[in-house]
Each structure stands twice: as structure tokens, then as C-alpha cells.
Chains A and B, each alone.
Chain A
């Protein structure tokens, strides 16, 4: 099978658009869309192959071989990869099509298509990687694409700031990632998944003194350190606490990007990483616990913030943070299949929600504030109905994909042990919040009286079919991905962990009922508050001022980082500039120049233009030579 073509088609599309985009301009989609759709078809073939029991790993290219270092570009296709391939290519295809309508007439049309093609290529290579280094290279490449696309409207200062923030915050996590990579290399003498996973059980007992450079002594299992360092990368990429701050700001980018990169694919790379490295994580219970707790915290934090935001894209962004928390928590509890299953369904319904937001934003001439919307359901029927389906899936409404994946996730979490039971209970609580804020979004945006700017009211209409078709396809996917048997498909991949899979512990039915009830309760609550009693939210805001402020200001995490890291860095940099750069470095350079100028001024004095001075010099010189000659 021609698996290579899956990533190479988007690469070709990127190269063509990148090199000749200047001439292709408004016809850029004619190159990009067919490439990514073909790539999707090949992914379907790959998926069917894997479903037929055909796994394969092969090398495309050997980069360098030196000692223990054997670096190559390879492709590995197994159950996990096959699912990710499908998700990436289908969302990417739909986003490509949606972009035709969304970015119509923009000056950077071809540039935008070339970047999303590059992103698709990088993301596919990331999931196809058969070694850590390739994973890392494309991990960085998707980060770069994210940076480029967030800053697509580079003339806006806020977009530039958001792009920089995303890049810098990810750098913090990637610092851990690269240290983890080095530790993998020194521990296993190899960077290939297969070698590392084969050797991993042999090093479970090995410890390392992590305080050695400081002269202290603290022995920690090598595997735990390794897993935690690699997890730092996942925390950055998947916007987990405490590095979640970049994702909501990334909404400065065009909406198709939010759907593709910041909801369905790139941000799930962290979850994918943990699932891919499951054989390593399974050997380190400490690291697993950390993963689960970080996931749980992220899940609750995202949901509480999403309750009070007013920018529709930010609400969906915080909901993404929260849902990523669910997935990470599931992985941390050993329920990898459930985590990846939720990743897949989330990819579908979250992309749908983002594209729906984009459709609303375009219809209202780039208005994103929820308070200036309302009453849109009759004017934007397709957007409304697809958005409702997406929200139902997000809320875990029975018989949608989100219902199956979230229940599966919570039940798996519940049956994994005491920690799992605590986190699953919190997950049920968060599910209620999720349903509440997602239907707050639906009711405030689409129902009730219109608060739309009266200049635009008359012209609000459904966008072109290139934008509505992806919405409808995603709406269908948001339901049917629940019936495709994905968990059963993934289960053999992670079957080593016998207790977590297949048989659910007692009480799982209760968990399921509670989870569904929580979702319904959340929806009912939102209906009660925002439709039946529209004055209630304002009263609550007054009564619970502190809680409201805390949520509205995102728990003041940004402010805390600003005080503790950003501001001190700026102050230190300013001081360094003023005192070290100006005084020492510039001083040295200017000093040398000044010394030479001064010396030249001295030397210049001897050239007086008076002939007799030169003769005197000659005579004295002759005398000096004669003296030396006679005396020595």
C-alpha cells in the first residue's frame, strides 16, 4: 500500500503553494483541497488494512548513523496511528473546504492554504513516526505551523502577541521533552519505539540521583523521570495546567485554524504522546498518577473558566482545555483506549463547534462577543442545527458520539481504582458544567432577543455552501463516530493492562447513569437560567462576586505568570540592556574605535607639511642608526 502518499500529498501541496502561491493566489484551494482529500482516501485504506490485521513499520530514509545513534524517518501503522490518521485527514479536509469560504478574498489566501497543508503534513508525520526523534521534529513543526497560523493576521498586535505566547509557553514544555529525549537515548541507546519498549521492563529498578548537580542525594526511578519529562512536552502541547494559558489566546488566529489545530489535532498530540508511550507509562505508577491529576485539574479549571467568558471562541477554547483534561486523565488512569476514543469524538464535535462559531462570526462581520448576538437561529438555520448537535455531543447527550466516549471514559476511570473513582466523580461534576456552558452558548447566541448591531441585522444570512457542507458532515460525524466500535478497535493496542480493559468494575452502570444525568441536568439548568429567567445571571453575578471574578479572570493565572515570569524577565532584560549591553559591550566596541581614533590623531601630528621637519626626522634617524652601529 502507498502509505507514504498520506503525508507526502499535503507536503507537495505546501511546496507548490509556498513557492508559487504568489501566482496561484485565489485558486490556491484547487491545489490544496484535492491533495488533502486524496490523503484522506489513502488513510481510509490504511485504516481498513489495519482493521484487517495488517500492521507495518518501514523506513523511508536514513538520516544519519553514528555509533549508537541511528536516526531515520520511518512510518509505523498500527491501530492508534490508523485512528489518528483518519481524524487528522478528515478534519483537515473539511477545514480546507471551509477555508475556501471563510478566507475568501483575504490577501493571504494562498499563504494560509500553504501553511495548513504544511501543518497537515507535519501532524501526519508526527502520528506516523516510529522513533522519538521524528516525533520530536514534527512535534516542533506543528508548533511552528501553529505559530504561523495564529499570527496569520500579523498586522494585528494582539495576533502577534498571541502567536509569541503560544510559542514561548510551548518552549517551556518542550524543554522538558528534549531532556526526556536525551534520557531515553542514554538509558536505552536507541530512539526507536520498538527497541525502547522492548528494553523498558529491564530498567524498571534503575534509579538516578536527580540532585547530583546540586550535591544532594535523591534517588528516583529513571523511568519516572523520563515519563515526567516527556509529559512536560505533552502539558505544553495539550494545554494542560499549568501551561494551558496559550490556547485561549491562540483564538486570535482565523477560525478554521482554531478548529483544525487548536481543537481537533495539534492540541491532542500530547494525549497521543502519552497513549503512544503507554508501554513506558505503564511501568511508572508515579508518572501515571501525575498525568491523571494534571488531567483532572485541567478538566475542572477549563470548565469553570468557560462558564463566564463572553467571547464565543474563547468559551469553546476553554471547553477544549477541559476536554483535553478528560483525555489526559483517562490516559493517566490507564484507560488509553477511552482517552483516544474521546480524542476522536471530541475532534469531530469540537471542530464542528469552532466552524459553527466561524460561521456566526462571518455572518456578523467578525463580531465575537456573545452579548452582541442573540436570536440567530432563524437567520442561520444550518449553523444553528449543526451547532446544537455539536453542543449536544459536547454535553454528552444520550446517543451522540460524545455520550458514548465520555461515558466510556468515566466508567474506565471509575474502574481503575480509588484515584480513578475520585477523578471520575469530579469528571461527572465537570460534565454538568460542560453541558451548562455549552448550552449557555447556544441559548445566548441563537435564542432570545437579538442584540446584533442594527446596521448588520438585515444582511445576516447563511454563509456559502463551502462553509455549510463541512458543518453538516461534521454534524453527522459527531453522531456516528459513537457507533463505529472505535474502543473495541483500539483495545488490543493497550491490552497489556488487563484490569483496565474490557470488564468494568461494579458501579459502572451507576457512573454511566450519573454521567448522563449530569449532562441533562446541565442542559436543563442552562435552559432555566438563560431562557426562562434571563435576569438570573445578573443577580448571581452580584451575589457571588468573588467566584464570578475568579472565573471571568481565568483564575488570575495569566496575571500570576505576568507578575512572576514575564514582568521580571522584561525588567531583567531592560537592566541588562541598559547596563551590560550599553556599558560593557557597546563600551568595548566604541572604546576600541575611540582608542584608534586618538592614536591616529597623535600620529597625524608628525605629518606637518613642513619639509624641514621631515629632513630633521631623516637626519635624527640617520644619527640614531649611526649611533647604534658605532656603539654595538
Chain B
């Protein structure tokens, strides 16, 4: 039996990897992928606790999260394509019009 803390540690490492990726990378696709990493880190947590507490609700929640993530990626990539058409680049630093 693998202890709960292992799962939580893995989840934290994946989450932080995603967060750092969002913060430091410039490519919008990479940022989207990093966001997916963060989402999946929480999924790991859900599944781990579900198994630990013998409660199926957590696993049900993960299915919802996966579905939403799929939809989100579809929308996100569509936006990325629209951005690319507008500026011929997907470097996030170029998209800073919305400011004072």
C-alpha cells in the first residue's frame, strides 16, 4: 500500500511544475499545457483522497474535470489560432494591449 503522502508529493511537484511553466514560459501553447498540468495535479489529489477515504465522489469529480479540460483545450487552442492570425506570433509578451 503506497502511503497518501507520496501521491500528495507527486501532485505538489506536478502543480508547481505547471505553475512555474505558466509564469516563465512565453509560448502560449506551452502555457496552456502547463495549465493542463496544474489541473491534472489536482486530479491526482482527488483520486488519492478518494481511494484513501473510500469515497467514490472524488473519482466522479475527476471525470467532470477531464471533460471540462477537454472543452477548455478546444476553446483555448481556438483562441491561440485567433491570436496568431492577429499578430503572426504566439509570444505572450506581445499581447499586452489591455492595460492603462
Contacts and interface: CB of A to CB of B under 8 A. Distances in A.
Interface stretch (B3-11, B55-63, B68-76, B92-100): B92-100
Interface of B: 19, 22-24, 92-93, 95-100
18 contacts: A604-B100, A607-B99, A608-B99, A609-B97, A609-B98, A609-B99, A610-B92, A610-B93, A610-B96, A611-B95, A611-B96, A612-B22, A612-B24, A612-B92, A615-B23, A616-B23, A619-B19, A619-B23
Contacts of A604: 100
A612 B20 CA distance: 10
Nearest to B28: A611
Given A607-B99, A610-B96, A612-B92, 5 more contacts: A610-B92, A610-B93, A611-B92, A612-B24, A619-B19
B96 A608 contact: yes
Contacts of A607: 99-100
A32 B23 CA distance: 89
A608 to B, nearest CB: 6
Nearest to B20: A619
Contacts of B23: 612, 615-616, 619
Q: State the majority secondary structure of interface residues on A.
A: helix
A617 to B, nearest CB: 11
Contacts of A612: 22-24, 92
Interface string A145-179: 00000000000000000000000000000000000
Contacts of A615: 22-23
A276 B59 CA distance: 105
A609 B19 contact: no
Interface in A287-342: none
Interface of A: 604, 607-612, 615-616, 619
A619 B34 CA distance: 14
A615 B96 CA distance: 14
A608 B92 CA distance: 13
- Point out which of B22, B24, B92, B100 has the most chain A C-beta atoms below 10 A from its C-beta: B100
A607 B99 CA distance: 6
A393 B93 CA distance: 102
Contacts of B97: 609
A123 B68 CA distance: 90
The 8 residue pairs across chains A and B that have the minimum distance between CB atoms? A609-B99, A609-B96, A604-B100, A607-B99, A610-B96, A609-B98, A607-B100, A615-B22
A609 B94 CA distance: 10
Contacts of B96: 608-611
A604 B96 CA distance: 14
Contacts of A609: 96-99
Nearest to B25: A612
A607 B98 CA distance: 9
B38 to A, nearest CB: 10
A616 B23 CA distance: 7
B84 to A, nearest CB: 16
B29 to A, nearest CB: 14
B21 to A, nearest CB: 11
A607 B23 CA distance: 16
Nearest to A605: B100
Contacts of B93: 610
A607 B97 CA distance: 11
Contacts of B100: 604, 607
A411 B97 CA distance: 100
A143 to B, nearest CB: 59
Nearest to B99: A609
A619 B22 CA distance: 10
A612 B24 CA distance: 8
B41 to A, nearest CB: 14
A132 B92 CA distance: 85
Contacts of B99: 607-609
A250 B22 CA distance: 86
A108 B100 CA distance: 58
A45 B15 CA distance: 108
Contacts of B22: 612, 615
A26 B84 CA distance: 81
Contacts of A610: 92-93, 96
A604 B24 CA distance: 23
A607 B95 CA distance: 13
Nearest to B26: A612
A611 to B, nearest CB: 6
A609 B24 CA distance: 16
A505 B93 CA distance: 114
A612 B28 CA distance: 11
B90 to A, nearest CB: 12
Nearest to B96: A609
Contacts of B24: 612
A613 B19 CA distance: 13
A611 B98 CA distance: 9
